[in-house]
Amino acid sequence: MDSTPLSNLHFVFIPLMAPGHLLPMVDMAKMLARRKVKVSIVTTPLNSIHFQASIDREIQSGSPIQILHVQFPWAEAGIPKGCESQDTLPSMNLLYNFNVALNLLQHPIEELLQNQSPFPSCIVSDKNFLCVADVADKLNVPRIIFDGTSCFSLLCCHSLNKNKVHQAVSYDEKFVVPGLPHKIELRRSQLPGIFYPGTDLKLQAFREAIGEAAKKAYGIMANSFEELEAEYVEEYERVTGQKVWCVGPVSLCNKDDTEKALRSKRNSNDESKYVKWLDSWPERSVIYVCLGSQNRATPEQLIEVGLGLEATKRPFIWVLRGAYRREEMEKWLLEEGFEERVKGRGILIKGWVAQVLILSHRAIGAFLTHCGWNSTLEGICGGVPLVSYPLYAEQFLNEKFVVQVVESGVSAGAETVVRLGDEFKSRVEVTRDNVRDSIEKVMGEGKEKDVIRERARNYADMASKTIQEGGSSYNNMSLLIEDIVRLKMSQQKATPNAFLD
Ligand X SMILES: *[C@@H]1O[C@H](CO)[C@@H](O)[C@H](O)[C@H]1NC(C)=O
Check if the beta carbon of residue 286 is closer than 8 Å to that of residue 316. yes
Query: How far is CA 356 from each of CA 251, 270, 379, 479, rounded to the nearest angstrom?
Result: 7, 14, 8, 27
Cα separation, 311 vs 467, in Å, equals: 39
**Nearer CB in complex with ligand X: 338/373:** 373
Check if the beta carbon of residue 218 is closer than 8 Å to that of residue 145. no
Q: Is the peptide bond before 118 cis (omega within 30 degrees of 0)?
A: yes
Check if the beta carbon of residue 43 is closer than 8 Å to that of residue 22. yes
159: helix, coil or strand?
A: helix
Cα separation, 193 vs 202, in Å, equals: 13
Check if the beta carbon of residue 359 is closer than 8 Å to that of residue 382. yes
In the complex, what is the shortest distance from the CB of residue 296 to ligand X, in angstroms, rounded to a whole number? Answer: 11
In the complex, what is the shortest distance from the CB of residue 231 to ligand X, in angstroms, rounded to a whole number? Answer: 12
**Nearer CB in complex with ligand X: 135/297:** 297
Query: How far is CA 273 from each of CA 269, 333, 357, 363, rounded to the nearest angstrom?
Result: 9, 22, 12, 14
Residues that bind ligand X (CB under 6 A): 19-20, 23-24, 226, 243-245, 251, 264, 290, 292-293, 355, 372, 374-375, 472, 475-476, 479
Positions annotated as catalytic residues are: 21, 126
Check if the beta carbon of residue 420 is closer than 8 Å to that of residue 204. no
Q: Considering only CA atoms, which of 485, 254, 206 is closest in space to residue 382?
A: 254
In the complex, what is the shortest distance from the CB of residue 291 to ligand X, in angstroms, rounded to a whole number? Answer: 8
**Nearer CB in complex with ligand X: 23/397:** 23
In the complex, what is the shortest distance from the CB of residue 478 to ligand X, in angstroms, rounded to a whole number? Answer: 9
**Nearer CB in complex with ligand X: 166/266:** 266
Q: Which residues of 450-470 are buried (b: 16+ CB within 10 A; e: fewer)?
A: eebbebbbebbebbebbbeee
Check if the beta carbon of residue 348 is closer than 8 Å to that of residue 333. yes
In the complex, what is the shortest distance from the CB of residue 155 to ligand X, in angstroms, rounded to a whole number? Answer: 15
Q: Is 409 left (phi over 0), alpha (psi -120 to 50) or beta?
A: beta
328, amino acid identity: E
**Nearer CB in complex with ligand X: 121/251:** 251
User: How many angstroms from the chain centroid is the CA of residue 85?
Assistant: 15
In the complex, what is the shortest distance from the CB of residue 284 to ligand X, in angstroms, rounded to a whole number? Answer: 21
In the complex, what is the shortest distance from the CB of residue 22 to ligand X, in angstroms, rounded to a whole number? Answer: 7
**Nearer CB in complex with ligand X: 175/367:** 367
Cα separation, 278 vs 349, in Å, equals: 14
Closest residue to ligand X: CB criterion = 23
**Nearer CB in complex with ligand X: 175/401:** 401
In the complex, what is the shortest distance from the CB of residue 378 to ligand X, in angstroms, rounded to a whole number? Answer: 6
**Nearer CB in complex with ligand X: 20/409:** 20
Q: What are phi and psi of 61, to 5 degrees?
A: -90, 15
Query: How far is CA 225 from each of CA 152, 185, 232, 408, 478, rounded to the nearest angstrom?
Result: 11, 24, 11, 16, 14
